[in-house]
Chains A and B, each alone.
Chain A
Amino acid sequence: MSGVRVLVGTRKGAFVLTADGKRDQWKVDGPFFSGWEIYHLKGSPADPNRIYASQSSSWFGQQVQRSNDGGKTWEPTGKDFRYDGTPGTHQWYDGTPHPWEFKRVWHFEPGLKDPDHVYAGIEDAAIFESKDGGASWTELPGLRDHRTGPQWSPGAGGMCLHTIVIDPKNPKRLYVAISAAGAFRSDDGGQSWKTITKGLHSKYIPDPTAEVGHCVHRIALHKSRPDVLFMQKHWDVMRSDNAGDQWHEISGNLPTDFGFVIDVHAHEPETVFVVPITSDQEHFPPEGKLRVFRSKSGGNEWEPLTKGLPQKDCYVNVLRDAMAVDGLDDCGVYFGTTGGQVYASANGGDTWAPIVRDLPAVLSVEVQTLP
Chain B
Amino acid sequence: MIRVELPVGLRVLANLDREVTLEVPPPVTPRAILDALEDRYPVLRGAIRDLITERRRPLVRFYACRQDLSHQPLDTLLPDAVASGEEPFLVIGAIAGG
A interface residues, Cβ below 8 angstroms from B: 33-36, 57-63, 76, 79-80, 82
Q: Which residues of B contact A (CB under 8 A)?
A: 7-10, 12-13, 43, 46-48, 50-52, 57, 59-60, 93-94, 96-97
Complex Cα distance, B45 from A185, in Å, reads: 35
Contact partner, B51, options A34, A35, A59, A79, Cβ 8 Å: A79
A36's partner among B9, B52, B59 (CB-CB below 8 A) is B9
Interface secondary structure of B, over-half rule = loop
B47→A61 contact, CB < 8 A: yes
Main SS of the interface on chain A?
A: loop
Can you list 24 contacts pairing A with B, beta carbon distance less than 8 Å?
A: A33-B12, A33-B13, A34-B12, A35-B9, A35-B12, A36-B9, A36-B12, A58-B59, A59-B7, A59-B57, A59-B59, A59-B93, A59-B94, A60-B48, A60-B57, A60-B93, A61-B46, A61-B47, A61-B57, A63-B43, A79-B51, A80-B46, A80-B51, A82-B52
Q: A58-B97, A59-B59, A59-B60 are in contact. Are A76 and B12 (CB under 8 A)?
A: no
Residues on the B chain within 8 Å of A58, using CB: 59, 96-97
> Given contacts A35-B9, A36-B9, A36-B12, are A61 and B51 in contact (CB under 8 A)?
yes
Interchain CA distance A34-B13 in the complex, whole Å: 9
CB-CB under 8 A for A35 and B50, given A59-B60, A60-B57: no
User: Do A60 and B60 contact each other (CB < 8 Å), given the known contacts A35-B9, A79-B46?
Assistant: yes
Q: Closest CB-CB distance, B96 to chain A, in whole Å?
A: 7
Q: Which residues from B are CB-within-8-Å of A62?
A: 46
How distant is the Cα of A62 from the Cα of B9 in the complex, in angstroms? 12
List chain A residues, Cβ under 8 A from B51: 61, 79-80
Q: Assuming the A-B contacts A76-B43, A79-B46, are A59 and B9 also in contact, with contact meaning beta carbons closer than 8 angstroms in the complex?
A: yes
